[in-house]
Amino acid sequence: MSNATWLKLSSETLNGMMVAVLLATTASLFLISSGMHETAIIPIVSIVVVMVIGFALVKAFEYFRVEDTLLTA
């Protein structure tokens, strides 16, 4: 795969992370403002999970790009 492909995958992953984090933040703020403080932990934990998985994927894509790894079937 070319460098452009790995960069595109990294970019799309970061964009998806941003959307997921914004949605989870909105959900947690809504739950807190509705008085459901205990339930707000679910979106907050999901933010952490999305960030960890997303950054791991971006790091893997960058490793593949730098090492010029070819993925062939």
pLDDT tens figures, 4-58: 888 999 999 999 999 999 999 999 999 999 999 899 999 999 999 999 999 999 9
For residue 33, the model assigns a pLDDT of 95
- Based on the number of CB atoms within 10 Å of its own CB, is 61 exposed (0-12), middle (13-18) or buried (19 or more)? buried
Predicted model pTM: 0.80
Mean confidence (pLDDT) of the chain: 90
For residue 3, the model assigns a pLDDT of 82
Query: Which residues make Cβ contacts (< 8 Å) with residue 43, sequence separation at least 6?
Result: 24, 25, 27, 28, 31
Q: Structure tokens of 37?
A: 């403080």
For residue 2, the model assigns a pLDDT of 79
In contact, 38 and 60? CB cutoff 8 Å: no
